[in-house]
Amino acid sequence: MPYIDILTISRELNFSHLQTKELSATIFPSMEIKTILPIIQIALAVLITVAILFQKSEAGAGGAFGGSDSVSSWRTRRGFEKTLFVFTIILSVLFVVTAVVALKV
């Protein structure tokens, strides 16, 4: 296979005139990151809330006070329940990342 130099190709294509601000202005013409982040955070918060409410709760009334209604409180998640659990974790991580980015902006 021939050697392909990425820097040479990028110089030949002359993408050096594109700046990050110009590119973001092209994608979102009237929006800045300061206005987009709260919208993303609200959407993520709603999705996290819905994902948590869809998860099955094994804790009964005894679980609220530290007791347990069932013999074993540990069980394996399978199928849609596992997918929803992983999806909730991913949403939570994305929410934390957007919160940290919002603090830096």
The DSSP H or E segment spanning 11 is helix 6-13
What CA–CA distance (Å, rounded) separates 24 from 18?
10
The domain limits of the chain are 30-104
pLDDT digits (tens, 9 = 90+) for 24-69: 555 556 678 888 999 999 999 999 999 999 887 765 555 555 555 5
8: DSSP letter: H
Q: 3-state DSSP call for residue 65?
A: coil
Instruction: Please say whether the beta carbons of 75 and 58 come within 8 A.
Output: yes
List the Cα angle 45/46/47 in 5-degree steps. Answer: 90
What is the pTM for the complete model shown? 0.58
pLDDT digits (tens, 9 = 90+) for 73-93: 667 878 888 999 999 999 999
